[in-house]
Amino acid sequence: MKLKIIVLAKQVPDTRNVGPDAMTPEGTVNRSALPAIFNPEDLNALEQALRLKDQFPGTTVTVITMGPGRAAEVIREAMYRGADGGYLLTDRAFAGADTLATSYALATAIKHVCPDADLIIGGRQAIDGDTAQVGPQVAEKLGLNQITYSEEILSLKDGKITVKRHIDGGVETVESPLPCVLTVNGSAAPCRPRNVKRVMKFKRCLAPMELPQGTGFGDLPYASEYEKKPYLKLGQLSCADVDADLQQCGLAGSPTKVKNVENIVFKAKESKVLTGSDEDVNGLIKELLASHTIG
Amino acid sequence: MMNYYKDINEIKFELENSPLMERIVELKERQFEDKDQYDEAPQDYVDAMDTYDKVLDVVGDIVANVVAPNAEEVDAEGPHHENGRVRYASKTYENLAAMNHAGLNGMTMPRRYGGLNLPVTVYTAANEIVSAGDAGFENIWSLQDCIETLYCFGSEDQRQKYIPRVCKGETMSMDLTEPDAGSDLQSVMLKATFDEENNCWRLNGSKRFITNGDSDIHLVLARSEAGTRDGRGLSMFIYDKRDGGVDVRRIENKLGIHGSPTCELVYKNAKCELCGDRKLGLIKYVMSLMNGARLGIAAQSVGLSQAAYNEAVSYAKDRKQFGKAIIEFPAVQEMISNIKARLDAGRALLYQTARYVDIYKALEDISRDRKLEPEERAELKKYSRLADAFTPLAKGMNSEYANQNAYDCIQVHGGSGFMLEYACQRIYRDARITSIYEGTTQLQTVAAIRYVTNGFYSQVIEEMEKDLPQPSLKGRESSPFKGELERVFAMASKFNACTAAVKETGDQDTLDLCARHLYEMAADVIMCHLLMQNATKSPELFGESLHCYVRLAEAEVEKHNSWIKNTLGE
């Protein structure tokens, strides 16, 4: 059985080790102060895809990422670890997208590059936005089943996939027909490391967007390599390439508006110990009624 | 640490800042002849250097995220002995899986056998990086370089049979020592007999202290010439675990490197293949094997020194006493500066040695395919001699430094260092073996002493003096390290004077007695020069270490000088 798997991955600022300059005075993320990394749970997602590729030879794993030119690093990283290739979804029209516009763009791209994908796998959420909305929205837009919080693929046969998912206070095993969308939890197996032979082979891979303005592959060092080895040119898709509706892309397609950003301070309030006796419970009910917390 | 390569600028400096590197790449890549045949082969020197950097980045990443975090658990669990086999500590399998996924095996082997064709210098860096994360695991992983000996001396059939397997991650061991043959390998008694009926060799007997003794592919030293008692009756054999016949009788209970199983092996009519020619087992092949292994231990030692430095600095910055971090107290600072100085000086010696090994090995390899030009033959001879002279210095000095650094690291931790919850105690235990195995420091001295007495080290030092970036007296005046330079000259004079005085006695016992002292004097001066070369190129990276190291080395040289003078005077 040969599967076609799409992995959705995002380049994010590394918000795990933030310094004082991590936020701008306006309350947005200061991307220049934080190193750009492969979103951690997308790496867990990639590992699940690569395990299926190990299990079913001939399977292809294709990465799709949306972002500026430098986001193509995510595709290279995935290829070093075993992915076959990928597409950089990049266009000014995609800028400023919230989760709705992002999932629209991704779903449109998937329909364009691989309408017969068996599985679409992404991380549960990205560490910059923490919404966990994009995966489920992509599933909805493609009209596919979704399994969120996936931790392990237990089996894949007869057109069905069985997945263990991580839920509050335990695990749940679910089954779905293919194709479907999986979002993978950080508790799933960590991604395998980069393979050095693949690093050597793919280190020069570039998306056209990464080239200095006004130059082509022919102007690069080792230009003849790009002629001889087509795999060194990464796939790139614009809004027009995937026939996306401009109204649903980027800022125009984003209903989310940030009102303001506040610091949250967790404070432990004064506590009171109740025994569970009828007397204490009655006292609590009276108190809560008086404060209009209940009733 | 996020990445054990990227976060340590000194390693990258060592790789990139030697005039020899370009020659190494050119020889190793044979004018980049693989570039049209293998997608992963470099196009030119710059491309190759970029590849090395990226490979080590992967190593550093795996060490930071897998090997180092697993080290404590591997150390606590250790390997298990089950039904005559070894089962590693469970996290060791995780480490091996990561290395195999990354394809970090057969690193120096040619591409046609599935190897990465990396120079020894780059492999040495990888070794150091892995060791800084877990020196015990480094042992298992780095035994892959036994394949170098099989590559050099095995037949083409044997190369094709075994090298691709090692490149895919099968492990190796070198079965040399026996209960009555430790340092004295001439006494090896494991019996190899030719089985006429099955047309193969058979091994019978036992081996002791075999690192990773349940490996997939063993190189075995055994007595093939019945009735002989010395080194000339020994041959080298390849034992393939798939054939069976070798069992693990027990696993040693060691002070350190718990992750690495040290085994007692029993050979029961085990089928094996002769590697190379009969009778050359010890005198040629094991010597080659040991030189490679000694460079490996030097790298392991530098990794341990780096780990000791990391732990000492992080604790000293964190720990507050008398209202401030203890790193602010000069007495603590001194210990940390000394660790760093010995680390940087020892590392400079390690990489200089690795580069010498690279040039002569690459030329030797070329000579298997074509006749060398006269100037290439001269080059081969020159670097082969330098490698032979530098290897015992690098192994002996770095292993002693690793011990000293680990000791100081615990001292920086004070009482906490004596408790088992800090990493420094593991580093201390792991470091202890480095000055013992693959030839004790005393045996490194034996290997090196002829280069003292025949004046080779003095000649090397003289050339280093000539090669100084400011050769003219006027230039020296303006050198930022003018003071150090003069003192290193004075140290070299003391070394030469002591050597002459010892030789003058004409007494072998006196020479043997003074050997260790002369050996260390030579190494101290050479390391001063190497560190000075580094500091001249990058004062910000090595300036402090140079000041500190020259002070240390000067005191050491004076100590040896006085010891030798007093001994000769008695």
Residue B300 CA to residue B140 CA, distance in Å, equals: 12
Looking at the structure of chain B, the number of domains it has is 2
Residue B518 domain-assigned?
A: yes
Prior bond to B69 cis, omega within 30? no
Whether A200 and B40 lie within 8 Å, measured CB to CB: yes
Tokens representing residue B440 in the block: 């004790």
Whether B102 and A196 lie within 8 Å, measured CB to CB: yes
Residue A208 CA to residue A222 CA, distance in Å, equals: 15
Q: What is the pLDDT of residue B156?
A: 97
Confidence label for B477 from pLDDT (cuts 50, 70 and 90):
low
Q: Reduced to 3 states, what is the DSSP secondary structure of residue A189?
A: coil
Q: What is the pLDDT of residue A242?
A: 93
Answer for the pair B491, B528: CB distance below 8 angstroms, yes or no.
yes
Q: What is the pLDDT of residue A260?
A: 79
As a whole number, mean pLDDT of residues A201-213 equals: 96
Compute how many other C-beta atoms are within 10 angstroms of the C-beta atom of residue B78: 18
Residue B252 domain-assigned?
A: yes
Tokens representing residue B417 in the block: 């260092």
Which among B147, B241, B230 is positioned nearest to B203, based on CA atoms? B241
- The proportion of chain B whose per-residue pLDDT surpasses 70, expressed as a percent, equals 98
Answer for the pair A251, A104: CB distance below 8 angstroms, yes or no.
no
Confidence label for A270 from pLDDT (cuts 50, 70 and 90):
confident
Tokens representing residue B246 in the block: 């070798």
Residue B78 domain-assigned?
A: no
Q: Which CATH architecture has domain A4-253?
A: 3-Layer(aba) Sandwich (3.40)
Which among B197, B180, B198 is positioned nearest to B189, based on CA atoms? B180
Query: Which sequence spans correspond to the domains of chain A?
Result: 4-253
Residue B126 CA to residue B556 CA, distance in Å, equals: 31
Please report where in the chains the tokens 């994360």 appear, as a residue. B133
As a whole number, mean pLDDT of residues B283-308 equals: 94
Prior bond to B374 cis, omega within 30? no
Residue B217 domain-assigned?
A: yes
Mean residue pLDDT across chain B: 96
Residue B155 domain-assigned?
A: no
Confidence label for B402 from pLDDT (cuts 50, 70 and 90):
very high
Q: What is the pLDDT of residue B476?
A: 58
Residue B91 CA to residue A233 CA, distance in Å, equals: 39
Kindly report the CATH number assigned to the domain that includes residue B478: 1.20.120.470
Whether B103 and A196 lie within 8 Å, measured CB to CB: yes
Among B280, B310, B340, residue at a domain's last position: B280
Sort out which chain B residues have CB atoms less than 8 A from A201's CB and list them.
39-40
Task: Please say if the pLDDT value at position B473 is more than 70.
Answer: no
Q: How far, CA to CA in Å, does B140 sit from each of B128, B199, B213, B451?
A: 14, 32, 10, 32
Q: What is the pLDDT of residue B478?
A: 65
Residue B407 CA to residue A283 CA, distance in Å, equals: 65
Residue A257 CA to residue B144 CA, distance in Å, equals: 58
Please report where in the chains the tokens 């995220």 appear, as a residue. B65
As a whole number, mean pLDDT of residues B33-62 equals: 97
The separation between CA A98 and the C-alpha centre of its own chain, rounded to angstroms, equals 13
Task: Please say if the pLDDT value at position A251 is more than 90.
Answer: no
Q: Pick the more confident residue, A294 or A85.
A: A85
Q: What is the pLDDT of residue B236?
A: 97
Answer for the pair B526, B397: CB distance below 8 angstroms, yes or no.
no
Residue B200 CA to residue B315 CA, distance in Å, equals: 58
Q: Would you say the ipTM is above 0.90?
A: yes
Q: What is the pLDDT of residue A26?
A: 67
As a whole number, mean pLDDT of residues B262-288 equals: 95
Kindly report the CATH number assigned to the domain that includes residue B226: 2.40.110.10
Whether B39 and A201 lie within 8 Å, measured CB to CB: yes
Residue B295 CA to residue B107 CA, distance in Å, equals: 15
pTM comes to 0.92
Among B280, B298, B330, residue at a domain's last position: B280
Among B280, B308, B325, residue at a domain's last position: B280
A51 reaches B (C-beta below 8 A): no
Nearest CA in chain A to B38: A201
B103 reaches A (C-beta below 8 A): yes
As a whole number, mean pLDDT of residues B185-195 equals: 96
B72 is catalytic: no
Task: Please say if the pLDDT value at position B331 is more than 90.
Answer: yes
A196 reaches B (C-beta below 8 A): yes
Q: pLDDT tens across A70-101, in order?
A: 999 999 999 999 999 999 999 999 988 889 99
Give the domain range for residue B243: 172-280
